[in-house]
Amino acid sequence: MAPKIQRQVTPAHQLLEKLGVPLDPELLVLALTHRSFAHEAGGIPTNERLEFLGDAVLGLVSAEALYRRHPDRPEGELAKMRAATVSQRALAAIARKLELGKFILLGKGEMGTAGYDKDSILSDTVESLIGAVYLSHGLEVAREFVHRLVDETLAVAAGLGAGLDWKTSLQETAAEHGRGVPEYVSEAEGPDHARVFTSRVIVDGEVLGTGHGSAKKHAEQVAAQEAYETLVGRPLPSSA
């Protein structure tokens, strides 16, 4: 019988090399400690407070960059571009480039359901690392760190168009087609630590899109994208 392969957590110093920012070992471990691991370890601190802080720093740095780089864009477009940059999907993609899943401390339940590759856990850990960098080095170093992480995403967001917010784009297109306001129906399956959401978007009584995700808002965006692409392929109603 072949031996059972178990996931091993990679030494943290390898992560520091990827990040390019020195961090106190204890703070780094805290930034990587998911609540599932903390619970199994007897209630030690989790990375959620650092995630809260990092989310604020990420939002500020992203907003400032967009404000300076796009002086001709109105507030609404800037808000959509920031939302696309700091979305769960975008941050998870950054985490995968860093191979962050190798370093996250997870409980047995999350490890058993491949929590190290879940968008929600990966994106939260990126934010906790940003919080740790801010605490250790202040705003200027944190700003440089955030730019290294998200500048490529910021550039892509500027040209996404409808994809900046599929729900808004779908609503606008549905109105153009005289189809009313889209409705979303969502349901969740699985335990809290491995919940999967399925969302369907209904436009004028017709299901035009279905999406899945680890968060309801992510599933709705996927469903909205499918519905948008379906709707734009149909002719506009005649004005005659």
Give residue-wise pLDDT tens across range 124-156: 999 999 999 999 999 999 999 999 999 998 887
Does 239 fall in a domain? no
Q: Which of 110, 119, 127, 226 is flagged as catalytic?
A: 127
Binding residues: 51, 124, 127
129, 163, 197: which is the final residue of a domain? 163
Give residue-wise pLDDT tens across range 45-66: 999 999 999 999 999 999 999 9
126, 146, 163: which is the final residue of a domain? 163
State the Cα–Cα distance between residues 133 and 140, nearest whole angstrom: 10
Binding residues for Mg(2+): 51, 124, 127
For residue 210, what are the domain limits?
166-233
Does 67 fall in a domain? yes
> Are residues 181 and 227 both part of a single domain?
yes
40 catalytic? Reply is: no
> Are residues 148 and 172 both part of a single domain?
no
Q: Which amino acid belongs to residue 221?
A: Q
Angle of helix 139-157 versus helix 75-85 axis, rounded to 10:
100
pTM: 0.72
119 catalytic? Reply is: no
> Are residues 121 and 49 both part of a single domain?
yes
> Are residues 125 and 70 both part of a single domain?
yes
Q: Which of 125, 124, 126, 128 is nearest to 136 (CA)?
A: 128
Give residue-wise pLDDT tens across range 9-25: 556 788 999 999 999 99
Q: Which of 17, 26, 40, 55 is flagged as catalytic?
A: 55
Q: Which amino acid belongs to residue 79?
A: A
> Are residues 49 and 150 both part of a single domain?
yes
> Are residues 127 and 85 both part of a single domain?
yes
> Are residues 92 and 23 both part of a single domain?
yes
**70: confidence class by pLDDT, cuts 50, 70, 90:** very high
What would the mean pLDDT of 196-211 be, rounded to a whole number?
A: 93
Confidence at residue 129, expressed as pLDDT on a 0 to 100 scale? 98
> Are residues 147 and 109 both part of a single domain?
yes
Specify the number of domains making up the chain.
Answer: 2
Res 7 pLDDT > 70: no
